Amino acid sequence: MSGRPEVLFPLFAGLETLPGVGPKTAQHFGQMDIETPRDVLFSLPYAVVDRRRRDTIKGVELPATLTVEITVGRHRPARGRGGAYRIHVEDTETEFELVFFHGRSRYLEDQLPEGARRVVSGKVELFDGMANMVHPEHILPVEEAHEIPDFEPVYNLTSGVTQKTRFKAAQGALSRLPDLAEWADPAQLEKEGWPKWSDAIEAAHAPAGGDDLAAHAPARARLAYDELFAHQMTLALARASERKVRGIRSEGTGRLQGKVLSALPYRPTNAQDRAIREIAEDLASDRRMNRLLQGDVGSGKTLVAFMALLTVVEAGGQGGMMAPTGILAQQHLEGLKPLAEDAGVVLELLTGRDKGAERRAKLEALKKGDIQILVGTHAVFQQDVEFRDLRLAIVDEQHRFGVRQRMELAEKGQRADVLVMTATPIPRSLALTQYGDMEVSVLDEKPPGRKPVKTAVLSTEKIEQVVDHLRKAIAEGRQCYWVCPLVDESEVMDLMAAEERFKHLRAVLGEGVVGLVHGQMPPADKDAAMLAFQEGRTQVLVATTVIEVGVNVPNASIMVIERAEIFGLAQLHQLRGRVGRGTAESTCLLMYGPPLTEGGRRRLEVLRETEDGFRIAETDLEMRGAGDMIGTAQSGLPRFHIADLEKQAALMAVAQSDARALLAADPGLTSNRGKAARVLLWLMKQDEAIRLISVG
């Protein structure tokens, strides 16, 4: 598949080939990311104006947009500068005025000579008892009036591009619609009653009322499906190409795993058992594993991950676990150490802080295979680190580790199986978008012994009561996190907020009781502050959101979050998950600055009602939309022009199963439908997919 199919050439020509678009206008279009006729077709109207012709404006409730045939009467030019130029007109039953500001007499006398018949269309309003149409959008001689569409689509604009230009460009692009072979699953088309692609595009640009603009209108749903299907084809191709890379078969003996299980004080949950089994099956196959382990805060991901690591050690290989930061790598190490001791395996930590002889010794041991499990930061895995036989790489917190980094790992010549862990429950539609190329295991039960966290919502005006509550808790030997708000984008402000709170609490609770950690600190100071808190030398840790991921201090049983209403739901849920890890009753206090907005109130209520991360994530998606939820900029989430992830979550699942089924039946995309799907990938600019096909 060497280049773009010829049938698409007209759609990928320059914009200037469209009627009414010169070089200057083309530049303005560029500000809206519209660079070809294809882009014009995919930016659909967002509203529609009813311009059906009527005989009279009489009896219509004003203001309204009306189209009517009139006889032109007397002109009344503006008196002073900036005044209004008025023209008296009549339709079949009543009279009204056309009003122009800065109207030029000569031009208006040409356009609207007295006594002539014209069709005008525009917004009619009452002014001092007289109906006025100010600056009609259309003024045409009766014989040309058919140019005004009955329903006029309304497009997004930018400076230098008018509705008229947009409409003309869209009509021009529509006149070049190629007849493309069908790529959608015929059964799906029939079930939904969807039009074929070219008819759907035409219909989407000619809405006949509000219903045609809705996401579920057949033409729009069809185009959204095409967009999602192209995206899922790309992911499915990536998945197929990853699967061509032969993996390494690692069959565990169960010897080491058995030791750990018998030393555990409880039995794994059914969800943990299921995940351990799914991963073991992947490891034993000769295909490369690419699996996402998704588990809510406290669902026991660590045990599942460790069992996977032991499986490859039993099979004679090595395992590695990567974390986004040094602090988290350190924490993984602490979580895994007791399990490693039960199993009797060699576990080591390697971060950017290892220097000199010590670092050399660790690298040597890795290369010889003496270190069986390595915990480190992403960076470590990408530097001069050589394993004797790396079979499994576990990656923590996916959204900082995209498809690209996974491929880099593979290109290092390491065909290691990959398991990605995330503690952020992701609604299914988004999981499919972001991780559509992966298999997914979900931990949806909490292990025994995790106590529910009591959550209370109170106003910041009650801060002194909260401090009293803390004083008592500290006296009983308990510890507390105090999270300060992100004041605004500037880290300096965050810092000030955290330092103010730190000083206040230190003054009230005493020197040496309160520690501080924030994003601006040098890493060593941050680690020292965290360590002092972990070891119980400080009782209260004032922090900005640095602590949301992975910190584990079982003795901390109180979480205070200031200005909780400005945090995202998922973030609040993550923060709350930092307490309730020990035996003590735990509480989370959400403090808000009154007055609360409706959205803020709803978010805090959801948290108070439930600890189910998936329910919280679904609510978050409804309330904030997909882009905000993962922070589109850094999430690598594709931007869809037509599909709406919140409203069309179900379509995403259909698109995924269709894409996988098509590739399973026709891996080379050589059937008629396969060839049509190739054209779709070009049409949707799925360059990554096109590269995979041409390589494959």
3-state secondary structure 24-70: HHHHHHHCCCCCCHHHHHHCCCCEEEECCEECCCCCCCCCEEEEEEE
CA dihedral 624, 626, 630, 632 (to 10 degrees): -110
Q: Categorize the per-residue pLDDT at 632 as very low, low, confident or very high, splitting at 50, 70 and 90.
A: very low
Whole-number pLDDT of residue 1: 47
Is 70 exceeded by the pLDDT of residue 270? yes
Q: What are the C-alpha distances in Å from 301 to residues 174, 309, 426? A: 52, 12, 15
pLDDT tens for 280-313 read: 999 999 888 888 898 877 778 889 999 999 999 9
Average pLDDT over residues 168-187: 94
Structure tokens belonging to residue 353: 């802080």
> How far is 81 from 101, CA to CA, in rounded Å?
10
Report the range of poorest mean pLDDT among 244-248, 420-424, 480-484.
Answer: 244-248
Phi-psi sector, 540: left (phi>0), alpha (psi -120 to 50), beta: beta
Is 50 exceeded by the pLDDT of residue 636? no
Instruction: Note whether 441 and 279 are within 8 A (CB).
Output: yes
Whole-number pLDDT of residue 286: 86
> How far is 185 from 668, CA to CA, in rounded Å?
17
Q: Who's near 474: CB < 8 A, 6+ residues apart?
A: 480, 509, 513, 539, 540
Structure tokens belonging to residue 405: 């980094």
Q: Who's near 373: CB < 8 A, 6+ residues apart?
A: 309, 313, 318, 319, 320, 321, 336, 340, 345, 346, 347, 348
User: What is the CATH number assigned to the segment(s) 52-148?
Assistant: 2.40.50.140
> Helix, strand, coil shares of the chain as percentages rounded to 5?
45, 20, 35
Higher-confidence residue of 197 and 620: namely 197
User: What is the CATH number assigned to the segment(s) 255-443?
Assistant: 3.40.50.300
Which one-letter DSSP state was computed for residue 620? H
Task: Write the class of the CATH domain 453-610.
Answer: alpha beta
User: What burial class does residue 670 get, using C-beta atoms within 10 Å of its C-beta: 0-12 exposed, 13-18 middle, 19+ buried?
Assistant: exposed
pLDDT tens for 398-454 read: 445 555 565 556 555 467 888 988 877 776 666 766 676 678 888 877 777 677 889
Domain pair 52-148 / 255-443, same fold: no
Average pLDDT over residues 323-343: 86
* Residue-by-residue DSSP string for 71-136: EEEEEE--SSTT-EEEEEEE-SS-EEEEEEET--HHHHHHHS-TT-EEEEEEEEEEETTEEEEES-
Instruction: Note whether 599 and 623 are within 8 A (CB).
Output: yes
Share of the chain above pLDDT 70, in %: 88
Whole-number pLDDT of residue 486: 64
Is 70 exceeded by the pLDDT of residue 624? no
Whole-number pLDDT of residue 680: 94
Higher-confidence residue of 450 and 667: namely 667
Instruction: Note whether 291 and 441 are within 8 A (CB).
Output: yes
| Ranges of each domain in the chain | 52-148, 255-443, 453-610
Is 60 exceeded by the pLDDT of residue 549? no
Q: Do β-strands 540-543 and 514-517 pair in parallel, antiparallel, or remain unpaired? A: parallel
User: What burial class does residue 11 get, using C-beta atoms within 10 Å of its C-beta: 0-12 exposed, 13-18 middle, 19+ buried?
Assistant: buried
The answer to whether the bond into 265 is cis (omega within 30° of 0) is no
> How far is 242 from 245, CA to CA, in rounded Å?
5
> How far is 575 from 588, CA to CA, in rounded Å?
9
> For tokens 């190490």, what's the residue?
333
Is 50 exceeded by the pLDDT of residue 485? yes
Q: Categorize the per-residue pLDDT at 273 as very low, low, confident or very high, splitting at 50, 70 and 90.
A: very high
> For tokens 């401090």, what's the residue?
467
Q: Who's near 335: CB < 8 A, 6+ residues apart?
A: 302, 552
Higher-confidence residue of 138 and 489: namely 138
* pTM above threshold 0.75: no
Average pLDDT over residues 509-525: 84
Q: Categorize the per-residue pLDDT at 551 as very low, low, confident or very high, splitting at 50, 70 and 90.
A: low
Mean pLDDT of the chain: 85
Structure tokens belonging to residue 254: 């169960």
The answer to whether the bond into 63 is cis (omega within 30° of 0) is yes
Residue 532's nearest CA partner among 522, 542, 519 is 542
Q: Would you say how long the chain is, in residues?
A: 696
